[in-house]
Amino acid sequence: MTKRIASVPAKHISAAEAAALVKSGMTLDYGGLSLQPDLFDKALAARAGELSGVKVRAVLSTRPVAIVEADPEGTSFEYYNWHFGGYDRVKHDARRTVYIPLNLGEVPDYYRRFLPPTDIVIVRAAPMDEHGMFNFGPTCAWLRATIERAKTVIIEVSPGIPYVYGPANGVHISEVDYIVEGSALGLAELPHAPMTDIDRAVARQLASEIDDGACIQIGIGAMPNAACSLLVESGIKNLGVHTEMLTDGIIDLCKAGKVTGARKQLDPGKVVFTFALGSKYMYDAITRNPEMEIHPVEYTNLPHIIMQNDNAVSINNTTQMDLQGQACSESDGHRHLTGTGGQLQFVRGCYASKGGKSFMLLSSTYEKKGQRKSRIVLNLTPGNIVTTPRSDIMYVVTEYGMTNLKGKSVSERAKALIGLAHPDFREGLEREAFENGLLPRWVRA
């Protein structure tokens, strides 16, 4: 862990005094998720109209951002985001935030190699411990790299941030320039998406492919959580966890005794993640729990690290797939919804693992403006972003079955994916595939 040295011993100041340090044209970093500042954000918002061209980076805003609400035109504060949540999606629709493309595990490298030093990093953290450390709680991500390259570091101390163990999950007081006594605002909770019969049908098929001792990564959403529920009920044992996001479903697996980490090559016995987002039930489970270990995102997400655990398994959602196997998981045309996150890196890392597998889950249809549409299509929605290329896709799962695309020709892929589509769309998809040259003559003979 590289340490920066503060220019002067840390000084306690008010949120208003901290906000007064900001000058027009500066770049700030809010950290994001549970560490998004509270009192500082409100104090800075009070300067809307006074400042101009202040750039603020964040990731997955878990509650309204005061500087955005106070400056609807963005003349004072420009808001940039590494991954969208629901709030960010709405603000993007209003042209009030901009997405930054990435592979999540590479972001520390962006800060260290490509981005100029950030003028001010301001994040919430737990109260200082006996070693002089301010703990980042359930969000580690790329904070260490951000702090290393910062001109000024401000910590907004909050008793609402729980203490989570990890070798680089915090900042020492010697690296901090200013301390603001923050509020006791708790962590944002992510409600469980209700499981449907389709979610269970998809999860049931992939659960049969997960072996004892597998080391799993679980993505966000109802389908991956359904997979966790089925694994809880199964006879599987000795699972390991090396994941980007820690979810309630993984905690369920741990509490059911399904996770031991005994067969992991890296960090045996530990559940490894880079951020946690879920319910109080989950936050309570990771607080000062030595079996739960948070790491920087370059450790959790880079493929050459992921592959070091044997039988690594990635389980992720997608929202649209074409007949060649391209997975679009982050946009609806030009409307940005979420982000690339770590999906592609886990797909590649798990494939490279000895005995590894990756699963891409999707329901066969969705409803839009009262019409049922197929998620499996000949042509992607114009403007849709390909998150995982066709060459990387392994298992694809819908409620109608599962196929492994590795080694399949274009025509074999098209036939296999048509078989996973809703029956009402199969005939049309096969006709389109033939008319556009994806199927050879003998397939239609």
pLDDT tens profile 379-419: 999 999 999 999 999 999 999 999 999 999 999 999 999 99
Q: What separation in angstroms does the CA of 306 have from each of 215, 336, 440?
A: 9, 28, 38
443 pLDDT higher than 80: no
Judgement on whether residues 241 and 387 belong to the same structural domain of the protein? yes
Is residue 191 included in any domain, yes or no? no
Mean pLDDT of 317-346: 96
Mean pLDDT of 107-132: 97
Q: DSSP strand E in 126-224: where?
A: 133-135, 150-157, 170-172, 178-181, 215-218
66 pLDDT higher than 50: yes
CATH code of the domain in which 52 resides: 3.40.1080.10
307 pLDDT higher than 60: yes
Residue 402 exposed, middle or buried by CB count within 10 Å (0-12, 13-18, 19+): middle
Determine which one of 148, 156, 175, 244 is catalytic: 244
Is residue 438 included in any domain, yes or no? yes
| pLDDT tens figures, 147-166 | 999 999 999 999 999 999 99
Judgement on whether residues 419 and 280 belong to the same structural domain of the protein? yes
65: confidence class by pLDDT, cuts 50, 70, 90: very high
pLDDT of residue 1: 67
Judgement on whether residues 74 and 204 belong to the same structural domain of the protein? no
Is residue 175 included in any domain, yes or no? yes
Return the number of other C-beta atoms located less than 10 Å from residue 37's C-beta: 29
Mean pLDDT of 231-254: 95
CA distance linking residue 181 with residue 297, whole number of Å: 28
Domain end call among 181, 210, 245? 181
Judgement on whether residues 150 and 39 belong to the same structural domain of the protein? yes
Give the DSSP H or E segment for 444: helix 441-444
Judgement on whether residues 278 and 403 belong to the same structural domain of the protein? yes
In the beta sheet, which residues pair with residue 359? 315, 395
Is residue 4 included in any domain, yes or no? no
Count of domains for the chain: 2
CA distance linking residue 146 with residue 153, whole number of Å: 10
CA distance linking residue 321 with residue 328, whole number of Å: 6
The 10 Å CB-count burial string (b at 16+, else e) for 95-114 is ebbebeebbbbbbbeebeee
CA angle, 186 as apex, 185 and 190 as ends, to 5°?
130
Decide if 244 is catalytic.
yes
Q: Which residues contact 233 (CB under 8 A, 6 or more apart)?
A: none
Q: Are 105 and 297 spatial neighbours (Cβ–Cβ below 8 Å)?
A: yes
Q: Which residues contact 207 (CB under 8 A, 6 or more apart)?
A: 227, 230, 231, 234
Is residue 365 included in any domain, yes or no? yes
Is residue 312 included in any domain, yes or no? yes
CA distance linking residue 269 with residue 306, whole number of Å: 16
pLDDT of residue 74: 96
Domain end call among 137, 154, 181? 181
CATH code of the domain in which 395 resides: 3.40.1080.20
pLDDT of residue 177: 97
More confident residue, 96 or 224: 96
Judgement on whether residues 272 and 337 belong to the same structural domain of the protein? yes
Judgement on whether residues 210 and 95 belong to the same structural domain of the protein? no
Judgement on whether residues 158 and 305 belong to the same structural domain of the protein? no
| pLDDT tens figures, 289-303 | 999 999 999 999 999
The 3-state secondary structure of 54-109 reads EEEEECCCCCCCHHHHCCCCCCCEEEEECCCCHHHHHHHHCCCEEECCCCHHHHHH
Q: Are 275 and 141 spatial neighbours (Cβ–Cβ below 8 Å)?
A: yes
pLDDT of residue 444: 60
Judgement on whether residues 102 and 16 belong to the same structural domain of the protein? yes
CA distance linking residue 77 with residue 315, whole number of Å: 37
445 pLDDT higher than 60: no
Is residue 277 included in any domain, yes or no? yes
CA angle, 52 as apex, 47 and 53 as ends, to 5°?
125
Judgement on whether residues 242 and 390 belong to the same structural domain of the protein? yes
User: What is the overall mean pLDDT for the chain?
Assistant: 95
pLDDT of residue 403: 98
Identify the domain containing residue 76 by its residue range.
11-181
Judgement on whether residues 164 and 244 belong to the same structural domain of the protein? no
3-class secondary-structure state, position 435: helix
Judgement on whether residues 141 and 233 belong to the same structural domain of the protein? no
pLDDT of residue 348: 98
Is residue 29 included in any domain, yes or no? yes
Domain end call among 147, 181, 215? 181
39 pLDDT higher than 90: yes
What angle in degrees, to the nearest 10, is found between the helix axes of 222-233 and 197-207? 60
